[in-house]
A and B are shown apart, each in its own frame.
Chain A
Amino acid sequence: MIEWFTYTQVAIAAAAGLLCVIIGLLGRSPSDYTLGATLLVEVLLLVQLAVSLAAPAFGNNPTGSLLEFYMYLISAILLPPLAGVWGLIERNRWSTVILGMVCLAVAVMVYRMNEIWFFQLA
């Protein structure tokens, strides 16, 4: 895990989450902007996966449980596509709120992954 990348990712996921929740509560159905924000969150998760897979080879090892780390990462990777598919099928305001809730959940999960990698003692 790379610290600055992880914090950037948490910030972007939280911002995307708030944006989608607010736009959703204003009554908009999922648009290119809200689906795009969710897509960005997903792409960053995939980059995080690549970084995490490569990191141990460069001597960047987690202090905590690798199994727990990957349970979080894989769960997080699953969420945005599910919310996105829902957003494409059910076109109403609540689908936009759901995109936001999922992005917020991803932000919390990535923050927790950061703790596992850098602070948790196995």
Chain B
Amino acid sequence: MVQNKSSRAVGVGRVLIVVYGILALAAAARSFVQIVERFDEAPLAYTLSAVSAVVYIVATVALTRPGRGWYFAAWITICFELLGVLIVGTLSLMHPDLFAHASVWSFYGSGYLFVPLVIPVLGIAWLYARRPSLQTAGNAAAPRA
């Protein structure tokens, strides 16, 4: 592995990045349609849809980039997603009038086969497994020529 390559964009991490990328694409495309076609029907849900799309895009980019800054950006966006899917999922059940309009996070992401509920947990596990302190220790133990 080349040193300037991200330690997160390797192996099974690549699969995670691809799933994030697809989710980012799906969320962005859907929110674009919602805002263009019927924003006034549910401004709150559709604004959230757009916010979640941006967060997924940032998370995807953060997972592919090397360095500590991007590592923390990935943590922040992925935790935001987990909170988002839990909070909006619960609110969509309690206040269907506000949130029942389809967004990535409504009903815990059921419209996306619950991928939005599962993927942040896998993301957090992956980030924890590839934490920078571990990598530095590993490099010190086995220096590369």
Q: In the complex where A71-B32, A101-B19, A102-B18 touch, is A65 in contact with B113 (Cβ < 8 A)?
A: no
Residue from A71, A75, A97, A108 in contact with B15 in the complex, judged by beta carbons closer than 8 Å: A97
Min CB–CB distance A78 → chain B (angstroms): 8
A98 interface contact, C-beta 8 A: yes
A67-B36, A75-B25, A108-B113 in contact; A101/B30 too (CB < 8 A)?
no
Per the bound structure, the CA–CA distance linking A117 and B3 in Å amounts to 49
B: interface residue count bin: 10 to 19
B30–A71 CB distance below 8 A: yes
Complex Cα gap A75–B26 (Å): 8
Interface residues of B in 7-59 (CB under 8 A from A): 11-12, 14-15, 18-19, 22, 25-26, 29-30, 32-33, 36-37
Interchain CB contact under 8 A, A75 and B29: yes
Interface of B is mostly: helix
Complex interface: chain A residues within 8 A of B30 (CB): 68, 71
Bound-state CA distance A90–B15 (Å) is: 12
Point out the residue from A72, A90, A92, A94 that lies within 8 Å of B29, measured CB to CB: A72
A79 interfacial by beta-carbon distance below 8 Å: yes
Q: 1/0 contact trace for A74-110 toward B, CB 8 Å?
A: 0100110001001000101011011001100100110
Q: How large is the interface on A (under 10, 10 to 19, 20 to 34, 35 or more residues)?
A: 20 to 34
- The verdict on A65 contacting B18 (CB below 8 Å), with A75-B26, A94-B12, A108-B113 known, is no
List 12 additional contacts besides A67-B33, A75-B25, A94-B15; criterion CB under 8 Å: A71-B29, A71-B30, A75-B29, A79-B25, A92-B11, A94-B11, A98-B15, A101-B15, A101-B22, A102-B18, A105-B22, A109-B26
Chain A residues with a Cβ under 8 A of chain B = 65, 67-68, 71-72, 75, 78-79, 83, 86, 90, 92, 94-95, 97-98, 101-102, 105, 108-109
A-B contact pairs, 16 of them (CB 8 A): A65-B33, A68-B33, A71-B29, A86-B14, A90-B14, A94-B12, A94-B15, A95-B14, A97-B12, A98-B14, A98-B15, A98-B18, A101-B19, A102-B18, A108-B113, A109-B26
